A and B are shown apart, each in its own frame.
Chain A
Amino acid sequence: MTEAEIKAVVLRVLGGIAPEADLAALDPRASLRDQLDVDSVDFLTFIIGLHKELGVDIPDADVPKLATISGCVSYLASRVNKQS
């Protein structure tokens, strides 16, 4: 998968959790939890959504790497492309 494809998945999963958010306006390097009104339940739902969409396991120790959109994309790209 390309990084652009992974980013599209990340934004789609985010859109399901925060439908009111303007995802295009998010700063990819800033914390998602600071930019969106999401709590720990939303964030866990987000991680579960990424796991289900991309079929990669995300160990709890790696969750801090998913705090930003660019963090999500680079982490997930390494996991997805390692598997395939």
Chain B
Amino acid sequence: MPSLGADMEAGTLVEWRVKPGNSVKRGDIVALVETEKGVIEVEIFEEGTVDALLVQPGAKVPVGTPLATIRGETQLAQPAPVIAEKPAEAARKAPAPPVSPVERAPIPSPSARRPHISPLARRRAEEVGVDIAAVEGTGADSSITIADIDRAASQAVQPKAPATAAERQAGLRKAIAAAMARSKREIPHYYLGAEIDMSRAMTWLTAENLKRPVTNRLLYSVLLIRAVALAIHDVPEMNGFWIDGAFKPGQGVHVGVAVSLRQGGLVAPALHDADKKSLDELMHDMLDLVNRARAGGLRSSEMSDPTITVTNLGEQGVETVFGVIYPPQVALVGFGKLAERPWAAQGTISARPVISASLAADHRVSDGHRGGRFLAAIDRLLQEPEKL
């Protein structure tokens, strides 16, 4: 069971998307898992053949529990856990026992675990979705018969009724409470704010959108996300995790986008490689991400990957955000309302669209001086929107 965020303790397997014998490659969706944040599509991080499914639909298991084993193409004799956790998360977590996942896999090698079973019974098992590794054979030499398969199928764990909206809401509230309490308990936050003149950005954006068909239109929030992602190149210590008493830089810039959910609560899934994507790609990905966050259908890597979070509360009329960092990340950038304000420059005062940007950062990793440089870099980037 992969960790889909610092606040997740357990998940319920809803459905397998693969069967034993299927070959899988990195990025394939192998299962659906229900968490407080909705049903998440679980991706696989290795290549090989599905060997055995260890957890049945309906079962709720703690983070770190192997869900299935796969045989790698290069290591035929050694089943590896399908859902390899991200190293960063694995290093952080306590519940997993200190043995390697391979040793924990219940069955030592494919040849030793292969049960005696007739081709007919094997076919029946595939039809009814029974994992033969979990079936006790009653035939000669303990071989598995069709009757055994049918019995196993009828005894299979009935999927639990899906959580009601109220239960999910209570669970989500609890998960947010745990993550935010940990943040406030452990992270020595410091806060900085800056007002950013958005007149160049908004003039460019308006002109650009007039040329674009509705399906390619840009929202100003995507400029903000892009500027934050690029500013990380100047101040990389804002991007990554605080794990076991040390800063671990993020592998790539994966910007978590705080999305409020209709029923209440929020999630902050990742826009992957936001520093490498064009504005058009980011806009497309952001629309898709926000809509999936609200409708259900986020992927596991999006939940576990963010290396920094951006939250934009301006649409609610908020002037300034005082952010709470999502552990184990080390920084959060907040944006307030984009509004016309009097702005003095070159000896004159004019009305300009201005936005308040704020940074909440982890003092164990960076200091106000570097945080200030980070906000200044965001400002500088937003003054040249055509280069974003």
Contacts and interface: CB of A to CB of B under 8 A. Distances in A.
B256 to A, nearest CB: 15
Interface of B is mostly: helix
B219 A40 contact: yes
Given A20-B263, A37-B262, A40-B315, A57 B213 contact: yes
B214 A57 contact: yes
Q: In this complex, which of B206, B213, B214, B262 has the most chain A Cβ atoms within 10 angstroms of its Cβ?
A: B214
Chain B contact patch, size range: 10 to 19
Interface string B279-314: 000000011001100000000000000000000000
Contacts, number: 39
Given A20-B263, A61-B210, A48 B315 contact: no
Given A47-B214, A48-B214, A41 B219 contact: yes
Contacts of B212: 60
B10 to A, nearest CB: 27
Contacts of B260: 39
B215 interface: yes
B209 A18 contact: no
A47 B287 CA distance: 13
A-side interface size class: 10 to 19
25 contacts: A18-B262, A20-B262, A37-B262, A39-B260, A39-B315, A40-B219, A40-B221, A40-B315, A41-B219, A41-B286, A41-B287, A41-B290, A44-B217, A44-B219, A44-B287, A45-B287, A47-B217, A48-B214, A51-B215, A57-B214, A59-B210, A60-B209, A60-B214, A60-B217, A61-B210
Interface of B: 206, 209-210, 212-215, 217, 219, 221, 260, 262-263, 286-287, 290-291, 315
